[in-house]
Structure 1
Amino acid sequence: MAKSLLIISRQAPWSGPGAREALDIVLAGGAFDLPIGLLFLDDGVFQLAARQNAKALQQKDLSANLQALPMFGVDELFACGESLAQRGLDPHALALEEARVLASADITALIDHYDQVITL
């Protein structure tokens, strides 16, 4: 059986290549039926903000990649509730409705659930 993998995405979509790289890893893992999860933590929760204008920042829009996750069989999507609150994001108005909002105490258990963890 394949080992499970959790990707923790901690970068905002416009702060560098980390957000895109995290999504690329998750999409590739999903394409190969790898048991994979994605946790948005810290500034990574900004990827879930609705109505972003990437063109204004001369960046590539990641929303299409996010919307493709379920099509690639990636349905283990999580967001840190504390990170959302600290950044003023409404957990009920996320661009990726499939993301399950977790309390900080539950994140440790989530990480322990996976065989391997990559943080970007």
Structure 2
Amino acid sequence: MSDKKSVLILNQHAPYGTSNARDALDVALTCSIFEMPVSLAFLGDGLFQLLKNHNTQQTGHKNIESMLSALPMYDIEKIFVCTEDLEANALSETDLGLPVKIISQSDLSKLLDSHDTVLTF
């Protein structure tokens, strides 16, 4: 059994407009560097962080796609989205830029309980 604390990072904000998305990814990458098992869940508006082909030219924000594409290199491969969020936004798994595990809203509490630390952004 690993003595490293597992971390679940909940991403609940749109990718741009605030620093929440970048901050969450920075924390995830930092935890991974210290060999902590990291999982990410993209909920509500956070789901939009995973969409392919972000166009940030007119927003003045840096595109987060390069940070997202680096996640597998840091062994961050447990990425979750809720079925209900996909359906509410008329999205499917093919609209997302990373492979994800789709869970139901009711399974979210099990996911939360399975981690030592939960951080919300």
Coarse TM-score class (shorter-chain normalised): over 0.9
Bigger shift: residues 98-107 or 33-42: 98-107
Post-superposition, which runs of at least 4 consecutive aligned residues in structure 1 deviate over 2 A? none
> C-alpha distance in 2, partners of 1:11/1:20?
11
AA aligned to 1:92 is T
* Counterparts of residues 98-113 of structure 1 (less than 5 Å): 98-113=99-114
Q: Corresponding residue for 1:88?
A: 90
Q: 2:71 aligns with which of 69, 72, 95?
A: 69
AA aligned to 1:41 is L
> C-alpha distance in 1, partners of 2:23/2:87?
25
Tell me, yes or no, if structure 1 residue 24 matches structure 2 residue 52: no
Q: Corresponding residue for 1:79?
A: 81
AA aligned to 1:53 is N
Alpha-carbon RMSD = 1.0
Determine what percentage of the aligned residue pairs are the same residue: 35
Shift of 1:70: 0.6
> C-alpha distance in 2, partners of 1:53/1:59?
10
Secondary structure at the aligned position of 1:57 is classed as coil
Shift of 1:2: 1.2
AA aligned to 1:101 is I
> C-alpha distance in 1, partners of 2:33/2:100?
19
Which segments of 5 or more consecutive residues in structure 1 lack a partner in the other structure?
Answer: none
Bigger shift: residues 101-110 or 39-48: 101-110
Q: 1:33 aligns with which of 31, 35, 40?
A: 35
Secondary structure at the aligned position of 2:21 is classed as helix
* Residue-pair matches, total: 119
Q: Contact (CA 8 Å) 1:10, 1:45: kept in 2 or not?
A: yes
> C-alpha distance in 2, partners of 1:83/1:109?
17
